[in-house]
Structure 1
Amino acid sequence: MKFAFEDIVKITGGNVQGSWVGAGNEICSVVFDTRKLWSAETSSTLFVALKGVRDGHTFLGEAYRAGVRMFLVSRYESQWMSQFPGALFLVVAHTLVALQQWAAWHRKQLTGVVVGITGSNGKTIVKEWLGTLFKGDFSMGKSPRSYNSQLGVALSLLDIPLGTQLSLLEVGISGSGDMASLQEMVQPNLAVITHLGEAHAEGFSSMEEKAKCKVALAAGSDVVVYPYDLEVVRTEVSKLKSRNVLMKTIHWGWQEGAQFRITEVEVLAAGDFSASVASSNPFSAAGGQRIYFVHRGTSHQLDIPFMDSASVSNAMSCLCVLQALERWDPEHLGRFMKLPHLENRLQFAAGKSGNYILNDSYSADLESLGVALDMLKRQSPNLSLLSILGSFEQTGMDASALRDSILRMLSNYGVTEAIFVGEEYRGLVGGDFGLEKVWQFDTVSALMDSAVLSGIASRSILIKGSRSAGLERVANRLQARLHQTRLEINLHALKNNYLYFKQRVGAGKKVMCMVKAFGYGSGSFESARALQALAVDYLGVAYIDEGIALRNAGITVPIMVMNVDSGAAWQLQEYGLEPVVYSFQSLEGLIHSGVQGLKIHIEIDTGMHRLGFAPGDMGELGLRIRDLSVDIEVASVFSHLAASESEGSDDFTGGQLDVFASAAVVLEQGLGYTVLKHIENTGGILRFADARFTMVRLGIGLYGVDPRGVIEVALQPVTRWVSTISQVQLVKAGEGVGYGMHGVSDRDREIAVIAAGYADGLWRADGQANSGVWIKGVEAPFVGNICMDMAMVDVTGLNCKPGDEVELFGENLRVETLAQRRSTIPYEVLTAVSQRVARVYVEE
């Protein structure tokens, strides 16, 4: 960046005060936050006094003492001449507007291609991926991080040098009035609309209005790239093209009519990639996807090293940009396998006093606030919503407008209480926006010293603020556990797995998801909430208290309860739970309870010999239920496959299926009506396509595990168990490690102590090199015996240090692998993780 001060005077039409000599003052950096002055050469820095949540004019003295001598201000006070000798002040009506005028002027001087990227999701990923794909082809400039606001876009533009051949700029909006000024600044030659979703939809009256505002970025563009399947976007692009007939459109999608039409997406195992690809991108070790598509009647394919559907969308957007810039060739297609993995996750964890915590205490802008509130609203249990907000970054809005925008957004998402941390929030009143309670504290320390946090109970809490706000201290205070070991549950992966099986079972077949045993160790409520959002047909639990807990958490999906005592019949009725009946005795218990209106599920023993009616009882049972004087309805009939995952037991499984089909027919004849029928579990779904009946029961497959013990590449691991290194010690040759001093070696070793033991879910049998942990791209073996709270691993040569993260199982060290080593099944590995291990829920 290098600008002449006198040019900025002309561009903005401002009035100069102070030591103005008319020429010779160069601006090489722009700073609006005095905390960032350390990174700038202050003698050539322009400090912009924004009137946002904090009035930048109050920091002029601090900036001056740091060496700044040029200021963009919206007011001038006569005493500043003597207070700040040698300083220049450019006085304008509105500093943000002046900055945007400057940015728009600079944009007109850029002769290269400017790409503007907007959409509800995927902007940052598409921008960064395009940077990788075009590396070496052009001189490039990119907006840093997620600088996509009114202020962020202006700063991004000013940082792009003249002569830059390709500029990649994110553009984010959270309301209908935001795009006009952004478009005037960016004026993209090529506009990219990535996606149109529900994120921060509260700022728009309809999806049609939201699409219109996003597409407005492309006004005056030469090319617009967009997803063809989104009809509202397609309609707005058509309207825009009717006004600009020379504009070129490039689009992708699944529907007929898309220029780049996807026909199939194939999941690839790591072994499907070449050795050169695997070495160039470590994420390909987990597999990837091959996108088959048709363009102008010719079939093509594109490989990407990611397993999620969002990456398919983002990759196709990038492919269209390659086409627009004439870089669609084998070399550039190969670069897709080198695309970086970008972390973009929100974490949701249990807190003290019945609270749930969504911790996003490292960033704060209006757009990401909308994303976080959207997750809080969708994923929180049936609790009141509370937000704890700190200072916001690079919004460029004045304090009053920003506060109103925040309050309005909180209210629209159903937040009833809010705590604001920062002097800029003084005098805040939330009543006009429907908030019931509002607290304000000048500092985090003041909040921590108050009694407010200790009084928060049974709330879903969003904690959000810029990294400098220090709100992580608040998150630590509210968290239920601070144990260094945690179990991450990826709700995005869980949804992916559900949709995979839903597609596999076919149209018209219902799916019951089993969330018993604490959701196979993953947390029942959180899994149920995610599934309910996907319109799952049924949930299954083991015991009535699990079902009651789900109802209390706001789950409304039908719930089948596997084990019920007839004495709890009134609770079944009160909470709308549906019991399994497996014997005449269990049926009579429900009848004699006097409870009316129950739906029940009939279990048949077809050969597993655990629970269930004999197949020959179905005729009598059907008649008995039909003739009851109490109101009891059979919702389904089902059985259990004993060995569906075992190819060697297929004859036995086939016999079970035949017995079940015949028995179900007899039961329905006796009842006089048809019922849902289900026998397939995860193994059955994967292996017996002709035995779906009318519903299937999805269990461990939902969590990304194939019960056959193989790695099913289409499934994404939902759970990732991680811990940290507490200490690294040098152990001399000939010395043992841990209790019993086992693991003696003839060489010196670096031994890391990790903060997990058999009280957390490791097995003592894992010790003495029988298993290990994943760290720094390799598996490090356990040394010596596993202790109750600690374990030791050999990390020689890995350059490990205290605080480094280790994976106990997850994407790299799979649950299936641990099960084989322990001579057990994946179910036991998952459910063995202790309840003292904090569960952290992750949403991509």
Structure 2
Amino acid sequence: MFTVKELTKVFPEYRGAANDSILIRGMMTDTRKEVKQSLFVPIVGESFDAHQFLTEAIKQGAVAALWQKGRSLPEAVPTEFPVLFVDDTTAALQQTAKFYLDKVAPTVIGVTGSNGKTTTKDLTASILQVKYKTHKTAGNYNNHIGLPLTILAMPLDTEVAVLEMGMNKLGEISLLSKLAQPDHVMITNIGESHIEYLGSRENIARAKLEILDGWSKRGLFVFDGDEPLLTSLVSGSSSVSCGFSEGASKPIQHIEMTDDDSSFKLDNVPYHIPMSGRHNIKNASYVIAIATSLGLTAEEINRGFNHLEMSGMRFEKHKGKQGALIINDAYNASPTSMKAVIEVVCHLKDKKNKVLVLGDMFELGDHAADLHASVASAITEQIHTVYTIGEHAGMIIKALKATHPEIESKHFQTKQSLSDQLQDKLTSETVVLLKASRGMKLEEIMNDLTN
């Protein structure tokens, strides 16, 4: 990666053998994990301070450390151990990432959006690695600490870095964008996630548009062409909108879907993805726009789609008891994403008995009751059973009884009682969807449903 000596140009105050060419091969923020040849960064949070673990970090493989000025070093730390003094260790982690990003100098693609950003990030990396040495955000390492760690995990020969950027409040994506300085940027959509903190979809759109704050403008800005909050605010020759409406600069056409895949055309060129759902088609269209601008052919793009490597708990299909199909999409949820995945289940042809298990969606604030109730609008007569769990998910049942009283529906207080009731539903003709915000941990039901 880099040497401690190189870091002294970024942090000129130090002690120990910082001028030696000691190689740093990784980052350590958690001393419970061994990381050989690492730089220890003691993060300070609201309820913890990792400075107290420096001696443990050394035992776990740290060869140097960042250290907040004014704090006393433990007496047990060897005098030759390199310590670089900084004003704030989290800010210094970001500075280190910026230094390393400049050293590697990859083409950077920034991805944000209320829903689908992780899927779009995975799609982008799968396609671009057909032609380029590609590095991507692991899991959802997409905040002010996760993004720098993602950058610092890049191999030196990385040609393209696909970086996911998340947020809870205004200003957070701006910081990430200025750090990453993306060449190409994508906004997948504007949903309701984080409306508790931001107050309105208009403010959510403004927060997502902060990804332009660090945009180098050397590449494309690709966004949802079906979202008025974006189309009304965005213009310019480098802007590309993808969507199902005729107003999109790249309209998606000739759509065909099965239970397992989708075909469509963009710019009259045929593409195929091993995923179903209109939302996945739209995410793929953003990726095609970026990949084409980076010189990939349609054949190379389709080849990349056929070798997808997706993050966990995103429409994961599992074989359940009695031959049932269990779909685990419980990584996270918002009203927009929940409706989208319900639509996919509604149109599945292989399984006749369709069961939805839906849990609470978080960070909706005062809008929680209404936004949970709105999910019922996506539930059609193709669905046979709806079970809910959580503080607000029962509003889905209440709204559903008004529109589709013939659909079996019930709210549960515990996962165990819900799981017990599900057992009688499991047949070779059954598909069960698990969908909720991450904190609901609906995946815990999986063991009861699978062999």
Question: Which of 101, 105, 116 is residue 99 of structure 2 equivalent to?
Answer: 105
Question: Which of 89, 106, 115 is residue 121 of structure 1 equivalent to?
Answer: 115
- Are residue 533 (structure 1) and residue 375 (structure 2) matched? yes
Conserved? CA contact 1:495–1:530, under 8 Å: no
- Are residue 287 (structure 1) and residue 283 (structure 2) matched? no
Offset of residue 841 of structure 1: 12
Offset of residue 182 of structure 1: 0.9
User: Any idea what the Cα deviations from partners look like across 1:598-646, whole Å, max 9, x if unmatched?
Assistant: xxxxxxxxxxxxxxxxxxxxxxxxxxxxxxxxxxxxxxxxxxxxxxxxx
CA separation in 2, counterparts of 1:199 and 1:181?
19
Offset of residue 92 of structure 1: 0.8
Q: Structure 1 residues 204 and 250, CA, compared in 2 at 3 Å: closer, same or farther?
A: same
SS in 2 for 1:302: strand
**Equivalent position amino acid for 1:287 in 2:** D
Name the counterpart of 2:289.
320
CA separation in 2, counterparts of 1:221 and 1:340?
29
**Equivalent position amino acid for 2:101 in 1:** R
- Size of the aligned set, in residue pairs, is 387
**Equivalent position amino acid for 1:20 in 2:** A
Name the counterpart of 1:221.
217
Structure 1 stretches lacking a partner, 5+ long: 242-246, 269-285, 348-358, 362-367, 380-489, 502-519, 540-545, 547-551, 561-694, 703-722, 724-755, 763-807, 817-837
Q: Structure 1 residues 156 and 814, CA, compared in 2 at 3 Å: closer, same or farther?
A: same
CA separation in 2, counterparts of 1:45 and 1:525?
42
Q: How does 1:295-374 map to 2 (within 5 A)?
A: 295=267, 299-340=268-309, 342-344=311-313, 371=332
**Equivalent position amino acid for 1:4 in 2:** T
SS in 1 for 2:226: coil
CA separation in 1, counterparts of 2:206 and 2:141?
22
Offset of residue 139 of structure 1: 1.6
**Equivalent position amino acid for 1:291 in 2:** F
Question: Which of 232, 244, 252 is residue 254 of structure 1 equivalent to?
Answer: 244
Name the counterpart of 1:199.
193
The TM-score normalised by the length of structure 2 is 0.72
The TM-score normalised by the length of structure 1 is 0.41
Offset of residue 235 of structure 1: 3.1
**Equivalent position amino acid for 2:44 in 1:** K
User: Any idea what the Cα deviations from partners look like across 1:420-455, whole Å, max 9, x if unmatched?
Assistant: xxxxxxxxxxxxxxxxxxxxxxxxxxxxxxxxxxxx
SS in 1 for 2:62: coil
Find the structure with the greater CA-based Rg. 1
Structure 2 stretches lacking a partner, 5+ long: 317-327, 360-370, 382-386, 388-392, 410-418, 432-444
Conserved? CA contact 1:215–1:237, under 8 Å: no
CA separation in 2, counterparts of 1:524 and 1:250?
37
RMSD: 4.3
Conserved? CA contact 1:194–1:314, under 8 Å: yes
**Equivalent position amino acid for 1:128 in 2:** D
Conserved? CA contact 1:45–1:68, under 8 Å: yes
Offset of residue 102 of structure 1: 2.0
User: Any idea what the Cα deviations from partners look like across 1:64-85, whole Å, max 9, x if unmatched?
Assistant: 3334341111145556355444
Name the counterpart of 1:212.
206
CA separation in 2, counterparts of 1:102 and 1:64?
20
Q: Structure 1 residues 67 and 138, CA, compared in 2 at 3 Å: closer, same or farther?
A: closer
Higher relative contact order (CA 8 A, sep 6+): 2
Q: Structure 1 residues 259 and 16, CA, compared in 2 at 3 Å: closer, same or farther?
A: same
Question: Which of 17, 26, 31 is residue 20 of structure 1 equivalent to?
Answer: 17
Conserved? CA contact 2:221–2:240, under 8 Å: yes
SS in 2 for 1:291: strand
CA separation in 2, counterparts of 1:159 and 1:839?
32
Name the counterpart of 1:607.
none
SS in 2 for 1:338: coil
**Equivalent position amino acid for 1:221 in 2:** K
SS in 1 for 2:279: helix
Name the counterpart of 1:50.
43
CA separation in 1, counterparts of 2:447 and 2:278?
23
Conserved? CA contact 1:74–1:95, under 8 Å: yes
Conserved? CA contact 2:279–2:340, under 8 Å: no
- Are residue 65 (structure 1) and residue 59 (structure 2) matched? yes
SS in 2 for 1:50: coil
Q: How does 1:151-190 map to 2 (within 5 A)?
A: 151-190=145-184
**Equivalent position amino acid for 1:288 in 2:** D
**Equivalent position amino acid for 1:312 in 2:** I
Offset of residue 57 of structure 1: 0.6
CA separation in 1, counterparts of 2:170 and 2:379?
37
- Are residue 35 (structure 1) and residue 23 (structure 2) matched? no
